[in-house]
Structure 1
C-alpha cells in the first residue's frame, strides 16, 4: 500500500493569513508540489486606527509525482505578513476539551468563524474532509476536521498564534497535526484539493483584519511544513494589496 502526504499544514497557513496566497513551489528534494489561491474581500487594506475586517476564501491543490514513499506532515510554522491582524481575543471562544467532548456543536455558536471541504483519498478510497473553523481565543485557533472514509474520525488541528517580536512579520503561527488525522484505520490520507472560508461573519466582521499595505504594494509571507521523514518543505510568496 502506498503512503501519501497529508497537507493539513495548509490549514494553519491559509485560514490565518489575511493575504491572497500565490502559487508556491515545494523544495526540490520533495516530489510534492503545492499551488494555491485565495480571495480577500474587501481587498483594500485598513489602517491601525481603523482595521478592516476581511473574508478569506482559500483554494489549494497538491500533486505528488513518482512511485515513492510520501511523507506525512506532522507540524508546521507560518509567518503572517505585516498588515495582518488577528482578533481572536475579542470574540467568544471554545476550548480543546469542549471540542473533544462533542465537536463544534458544543461550542458557543459565535465562536464558529468559517468552514471548508476537500477532496482526499485513503489509498484508492475517496474521502471528503469537512472542516469547521473554531476560535480558540487570543492565541489559538482550531480546524475541526471530520473524515468519513475509511472510517469516521473527527479531531481538531490546533494552531498557536504569537506576535513576531523580530519585527519582520506580524505573527508566527505553529500548528500540529493529530495522529488520528495522519493515518485512519491504518491508511495514510492524501488531500488533493481544499477550500476553506474564514472570517466575514456578522458577529465577528474583524476576526481577521488588515491594517496596512507596504509601500511596494505587496504582502510577503512564508511557511514551513515538518515531515515525518525528518525533513521539511517551505514556500514563500507575496500578493498585491492596496
Structure 2
C-alpha cells in the first residue's frame, strides 16, 4: 500500500533488518516495523477502496558507533495502490515555511506522527504532520524542540511508474538540519505514523498471493545504501 512518511522522515522508511558499512567500520543496524492497513480488503479500478495506514518502526544502532546519517530514502509501492493527492485541497511549501500549518486547509491534513531519537544521551522527539501537496508531492511539517528548536517542511516526491511490479516511487530527502541539530547527530530510535483521509490513499487490487509488496532503500552520507523489502497482507 501507499505509505508516506512514510513517510515521512529519516529512518521511517527503512523497514526490516539490515547491516551497513560506515567509514571503515561495520555498523550493525537492526530495523523492525509493524504496518497496519485498514481496511486490508482491496477495491477495484472502478471502485477504489480508501485506506488508512499505521506504521510503527524501531531502529537499533549500538551506541559505540557514530550514528550514520540518512540523506534520502526511496520507496517503491506495488501495483494496486492509488494516490489521489490531486483530488484534495493542498497546502504550499512556502506557506508552511512562513507560518507553519496556520493557513493550511483542514482537508489538506492527511496524517501525523512522531520520530524519537537520541541526541547524545538526551531524548529528542520530532512531531510531524503529513500534508497533501497535490498530484506529486506530500509534505511533512516537522516540529522539534530538543536539542534545539527546529521547524522544517520535508518534501516527499511521488512518481507514477509504468512497471509490471511497481505503481509508484516515493523519494524523501532529509534536510541537513534534521540530521544534525545544534551540532549533535540524531540517532533515530523509533517512528510512529498514521496516514490517510477518505480515499487520499486507496487500493484497487490484491495480488493472487494476498500480499502488497514494497521495497525501500536508504542512502547514507557515508555512501552506503541499505535496501529492504517486505509486504502487507491483503484480501480481494
Query: TM (normalized to structure 2)?
Result: 0.89
Q: SS in structure 2 opposite 1:159?
A: strand
Tell me the equivalent position of 2:169: 172
Q: Name which of 9, 12, 26 aligns with 2:18.
A: 26
Query: How many aligned positions are there?
Result: 224
What residue in structure 1 maps to residue 226 of structure 2? 233
Q: Which runs of 5+ in 2 are unaligned?
A: 22-26
Match of 2:214 in 1: 221
Structure 1: give runs of 5+ residues left out of the alignment.
1-9, 16-20
Cα RMSD between the aligned structures?
A: 1.9
The alignment partner of 2:186 has SS state of strand
Structural mapping, 1:1-242, within 5 Å: 12-14=5-7, 24-27=16-19, 29=21, 30-65=27-62, 67-199=64-196, 201=197, 205-242=198-235
**Structure 1 residue 146: Cα displacement:** 0.8
Runs of 4+ in structure 1 deviating by more than 6 angstroms, as ranges, are none
Shift, 1:66, TM fit: 5.9
Cα shift at 1:14: 4.5
- Is the contact between residue 13 and residue 223 of structure 1 (CA under 8 Å) also seen in structure 2? no
Distance apart, 1:129 and its partner CA: 1.1
For residues 4 and 132 of structure 2, what CA distance do their matches in structure 1 show? Answer: 14
Q: Secondary structure at the match of 1:130?
A: strand
Higher strand share: 2
Instruction: Return the alpha-carbon distance in structure 2 between the equivalents of residues 55 and 38 of structure 1.
Output: 11
Cα shift at 1:11: 5.4
Q: TM-score, normalised by structure 1?
A: 0.87
